[in-house]
Structure 1
Amino acid sequence: MQVKVQSLAGDAGAADIELNDEVFGLEPRADILHRVITWQLEKRRATARGTRERADVARTGKKFGRQKGGGTARHGDRRAPVFIGGGKAHGARVRDFDPSLNKKVRALGLKMALSSHVKAGSLIVLDGFSVAKTKELKGHFATLNAGKRTLVIDGTTNDGFLAGRNLVGVDLLPAVGANVYDIIKADTLVLTRAAVEQLEARFHG
């Protein structure tokens, strides 16, 4: 499909760009997107460091006092949580937040996330993304009619990334970091010509 290429000033580019239908022309499926986003958010989670409980502490299990007449409670184990050096009661345990998901499903989810913006008309393709001043970049976004939350994906990091990091509602990613969650969360997806080429090569390289 043919898409207009714009400049940061909002003008139409000299030439249109041909988007690969196998990457940008798929019909989005909610079940695939849900599976990939759930997998991605689970992968971000970190687990607590496991603590040693009563069964994990290396202390004597010998009864250290007689049952009656000692003036103390009837303890039979130094591993009890009430003692210094004893096991932790109800301590943190290591949990598994590393689900698996087929690579083909992950790739399909990314294609559908990109296609969803094409279908919704919220995709903007820029000729390039290189600007030094934050104030200048903010004015360019106003002329592009970008949404409240905008994701910009370029081929690589450049001066525009430094200029845009303080803009509210603007996220910036290199093409290698493109992911389903950030793309779906954005109201407007802005791709540079270099990002389009790298994303298409990612699936058909």
Structure 2
Amino acid sequence: MDVTIKKLDGADAGTVTLSEAIFGLDPRQDILHRMVRYQLAKRQQGTHSTLGRSDVARTGAKMYRQKGTGRARHSTAKAPQFRGGGIAHGPTPRSHAIDLPKKLRALALKHALSAKAKSGGLIVIDELKADEGKTKSMVKSFAGLGIENALIIGGSELDQNFARASRNIAKIDVLPVQGINVYDILRRQTLVLSKSAVEALEERFK
């Protein structure tokens, strides 16, 4: 699959041949769905917690005597049925993470890349570098390339001026190639890869 390489000023910079094994698959929604669920479940903090009857700050004394009152027998006002008592079966801190095989996670990333390539939402940039960290000039460059809602993937290290100029633009995410993931690819309309990012991805899946 041949794709035209663009420069930030909109000019052409040759072509690159993308691997069919990475960018030419027929996307499967079930695999992508499982991967998105995996990512969203793993990012949940799981710190939700409630006070049980042993945690609330109330007296542990018996409310009233056991017999002779004609009322139901109770022990302490910490019981869940009383106002101010503990919560019965409330949430406790836990991990929400689910298991997903490593091979399936790798396959999901290939399918996400292929989905963008198939839909025409893939752009390859020669170099993600800026002379100055000015947001205004970066907005102008993106407008010339037709980039409005995009995930931009650079090489192993991002150019500081480019990252600084891009981070304040709405609906634009910039990540190094190590941070590429299925959820961020799918949530943005366009995927922008630098030439070095393409090489790193093909080396990763070799």
Normalising by structure 1, report the TM-score: 0.83
**Deviation readout 1:11-57 (Å, 9 max, x if unpaired):** 000x3222111111111111111111111111111213444523678
8 Å contact kept, 1:48–1:92:
no
Residue 143 of structure 1 and its aligned partner are, at CA, apart by 1.1
Which deviates the most, 60-69 or 194-203?
60-69
TM-aligned CA distance change 1:29 to 1:64, over 3 Å: closer
The question of 1:125 aligning with 2:119 is answered no
Residue 141 of structure 1 and its aligned partner are, at CA, apart by 0.7
The question of 1:38 aligning with 2:40 is answered no
The equivalent of 2:100 in structure 1 is 101
- Determine the C-alpha separation between the residues in 2 that align with 1:8 and 1:188: 15
**Deviation readout 1:43-77 (Å, 9 max, x if unpaired):** 111213444523678x998858644699xx96434
The equivalent of 2:145 in structure 1 is 144
Listed as ranges, the gaps of 5+ residues in structure 1 are: none
TM-aligned CA distance change 1:62 to 1:187, over 3 Å: closer
The question of 1:187 aligning with 2:189 is answered yes
- Identity between Structure 1 and Structure 2 (%): 46
Residue 93 of structure 1 and its aligned partner are, at CA, apart by 2.3
Q: Which amino acid in the other structure matches residue 120 of structure 2?
A: G
Q: Secondary structure at the match of 1:99?
A: coil
Alignment of 1:16-55 (within 5 A): 16-54=15-53
Q: Which amino acid in the other structure matches residue 123 of structure 1?
A: L
Q: Secondary structure at the match of 1:16?
A: strand
**Deviation readout 1:92-147 (Å, 9 max, x if unpaired):** 3234411000111111110111111111122111111111221111111111122x
Normalising by structure 2, report the TM-score: 0.82
Listed as ranges, the gaps of 5+ residues in structure 2 are: none
Number of residue pairs the alignment of both structures matches: 199
Q: Which amino acid in the other structure matches residue 23 of structure 2?
A: F
TM-aligned CA distance change 1:76 to 1:130, over 3 Å: same
The equivalent of 2:198 in structure 1 is 196
TM-aligned CA distance change 1:134 to 1:74, over 3 Å: same
TM-aligned CA distance change 1:33 to 1:54, over 3 Å: same
**Deviation readout 1:133-171 (Å, 9 max, x if unpaired):** 21111111111122x411111012222111001112211
RMSD: 2.9
